[in-house]
């Protein structure tokens, strides 16, 4: 390898004799002094010129062409950056449109779900969309005729609630009638038991008469007891009399025994009458309890009948109002088809209103608010999806779906174009590769590596790589070690830290540089 293959510069160079003649050098120094240039300024000028020269050697072009290429690449980079900004802005707008379409799609899906729920609810009630459409037409015509739809819907709900209340009252009436019949059976059973136990048959009046008869019997027994008591007093008086005189003991004993028997008979009779009297008194209490319960059930039954009559009157009035509303609706929708029978409910309703205003009929009380709200909410839940302004038809939804698919395809194409532009920009941009550390190694003639003992302790040289043109400053061994390596025919290999290629470094060239 010749000396021209490497460009080796000593960094800490000794005094070197310039290649220029001394006269030219002195004239250059004099010219600089005459111009008043500073040495530092001249050094910067010379280093800049050398740097430009190195660039021309490295790329094989003149400085002007390099500047033009750089300007061209800069303009292309600006254009690419502008195109990237435009694409990013388009992407942002596309994402906003996509977000808007997704929100609209979400609203559309919600409305479709609500419509599906409405159709399911109609099917559960045995209806379809045609029935709902008819109901809407009727409500619209009634609203056009000047009627208050909320009031009419409230009356319909009231009618439904009244029908339910009537059914409930009828059920209660049936239950109360069964309970009353059960009480009658208990009453008959109790009278039968009283008859079997005491020989008293008949209804409550017969029991009362039996009670009075038993009372009279008790009074008679009490009279008999009183008579027996008087007889006892008389016997005691006679006994006292006898004690004062002589009598036969046998007669006295017989008299006492007979009195005892009569007393026992009276006591047994009294016990029997008392037992019958207590049984009659218990039966009387039970009968009074039955009468009281019978009266309470009779009052409840009368209240239920009054409530049924009141609800029936409400029902009749509502039926009249509905018939009148239907007549008015038919008058406004089909005046030619109105018949006399259609006007009769309207006339009756107007007469009822007139009598109510005059005070001939009692004014009707309004129904409970919760019944009206319940009917209103149910009708609103059925009709609301058809009358909302944001409802999206199926055709519009399909159009939005198609446009959304187109936007997705366009977004993917823009992303691919943006990726290709980024790759192009990266290929145009000069990337700086982080260089590795340059290496200096010694090898024997057989190719075995040898350790350099004084590597980095000698002079420092700037070595320019002939392959990539990059320069590196590296410390070489001392002069004695270099002479020893040259004597043994060892070779030095320099590995560039920028491109990684290795080249032989002549030892004799290094020695010449050191000697110079």
Please give the pLDDT value at position 207: 63
Place of tokens 């009252």: 169
Nearest CA to 274 among 218, 236, 216, 343? Answer: 218
Please give the pLDDT value at position 249: 53
Reported confidence tier of residue 326, pLDDT bands at 50, 70, 90 = low
pTM: 0.23
Please give the pLDDT value at position 130: 77
Highest mean pLDDT among 27-41, 340-354, 376-390, 468-482: 468-482
Q: Are residues 76 and 428 in contact, defined by beta-carbon separation less than 8 angstroms? A: yes
The least confident of 59-68, 301-310, 379-388 is 379-388
- Note the pLDDT tens digit of each residue in 237-280: 766 665 554 445 566 567 667 767 777 777 777 777 667 666 66
Share of the chain above pLDDT 70, in %: 57
- Note the pLDDT tens digit of each residue in 454-464: 777 777 777 77
Alpha-carbon distances, residue 22 vs 18, 19, 25, 27, 205 (angstroms): 8, 9, 5, 9, 169
- Token readout for 14 is 């000794």
Residue 15 has pLDDT above 80, yes or no: no
Please give the pLDDT value at position 227: 78
- Note the pLDDT tens digit of each residue in 355-378: 766 666 665 555 555 545 654 565
What CA–CA distance (Å, rounded) separates 505 from 453? 18
The sheet with strand 7-10 has its strands ordered as: 7-10, 460-464, 471-475
What CA–CA distance (Å, rounded) separates 4 from 178? 132
Q: What is the CATH number of domain 149-318?
A: 1.10.287
Per-residue pLDDT, averaged over 71-82, amounts to: 85
Q: Environment class of residue 158 by beta-carbon count within 10 Å: exposed (0-12), middle (13-18) or buried (19+)? A: buried
Residue 80 has pLDDT above 80, yes or no: yes
Please give the pLDDT value at position 243: 55
What CA–CA distance (Å, rounded) separates 47 from 41? 10
Please give the pLDDT value at position 390: 44
Please give the pLDDT value at position 325: 61
Q: Are residues 500 and 436 in contact, defined by beta-carbon separation less than 8 angstroms? A: yes
- Note the pLDDT tens digit of each residue in 390-422: 444 455 456 667 777 777 787 777 777 777 776
- Token readout for 168 is 């409930």
- Note the pLDDT tens digit of each residue in 126-184: 777 777 777 777 767 767 777 666 776 676 667 667 777 777 777 877 887 787 788 77
């Amino acid at each position: 390898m010749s000396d021209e293959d490497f460009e080796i510069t000593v960094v800490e160079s000794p005094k070197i004799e310039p290649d220029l003649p001394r006269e030219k050098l002195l004239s250059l120094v004099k010219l600089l002094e005459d111009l008043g240039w500073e040495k530092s300024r001249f050094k910067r000028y010379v280093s800049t010129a050398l740097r430009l020269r190195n660039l021309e050697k490295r790329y094989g072009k003149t400085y002007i062409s390099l500047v033009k290429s750089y300007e061209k690449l800069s303009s292309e980079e600006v254009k690419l950056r502008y195109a990237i900004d435009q694409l990013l802005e388009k992407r942002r707008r596309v994402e906003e449109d996509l977000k808007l379409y997704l929100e609209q799609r979400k609203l559309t899906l919600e409305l479709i779900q609500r419509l599906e729920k409405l159709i399911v609810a109609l099917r559960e009630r045995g209806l379809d969309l045609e029935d709902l459409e008819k109901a809407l037409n009727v409500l619209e015509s009634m609203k056009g005729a000047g009627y208050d739809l909320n009031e009419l819907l409230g009356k319909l709900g009231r009618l439904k609630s009244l029908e339910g209340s009537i059914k409930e009252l009828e059920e209660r009436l049936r239950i109360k009638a069964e309970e009353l019949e059960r009480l009658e059976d208990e009453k008959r059973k109790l009278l039968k038991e009283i008859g079997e136990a005491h020989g008293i048959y008949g209804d409550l009046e017969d029991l009362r008469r039996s009670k009075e008869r038993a009372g009279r019997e008790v009074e008679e027994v009490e009279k008999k007891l009183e008579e027996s008591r008087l007889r006892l007093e008389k016997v005691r008086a006679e006994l006292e009399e006898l004690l004062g005189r002589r009598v036969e003991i046998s007669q006295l004993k017989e008299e006492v025994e007979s009195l005892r028997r009569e007393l026992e008979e009276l006591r047994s009779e009294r016990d029997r009458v008392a037992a019958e009297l207590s049984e009659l008194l218990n039966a009387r209490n039970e009968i009074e309890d039955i009468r009281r319960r019978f009266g309470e059930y009779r009052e409840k039954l009368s209240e239920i009948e009054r409530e049924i009559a009141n609800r029936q009157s409400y029902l009749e009035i509502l039926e009249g109002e509905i018939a009148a509303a239907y007549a008015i609706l038919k008058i406004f929708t089909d005046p030619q088809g109105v018949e006399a029978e259609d006007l009769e409910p309207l006339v009756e309703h107007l007469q009822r209103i007139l009598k109510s205003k005059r005070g001939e009929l009692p004014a009707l009380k309004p129904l409970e608010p919760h019944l009206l709200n319940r009917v209103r909410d149910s009708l609103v839940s059925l009709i609301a999806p058809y009358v909302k302004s944001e409802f999206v038809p199926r055709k519009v939804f399909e159009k939005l779906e198609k446009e959304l698919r187109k936007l997705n395809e366009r977004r993917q194409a823009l992303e691919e174009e943006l990726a290709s532009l980024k790759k192009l920009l990266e290929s145009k941009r000069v990337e700086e590769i982080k260089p590795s550390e340059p290496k200096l190694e010694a090898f024997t003639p057989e190719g075995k590596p040898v350790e350099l003992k004084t590597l980095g302790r000698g002079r420092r040289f700037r070595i320019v790589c002939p392959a990539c043109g990059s320069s590196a400053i590296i410390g070489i061994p001392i002069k004695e070690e270099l002479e020893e390596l040259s004597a043994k025919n060892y070779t030095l290999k320099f590995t560039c830290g920028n491109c990684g290629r290795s080249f032989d470094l002549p030892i004799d060239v290094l020695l010449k540089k050191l000697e110079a």
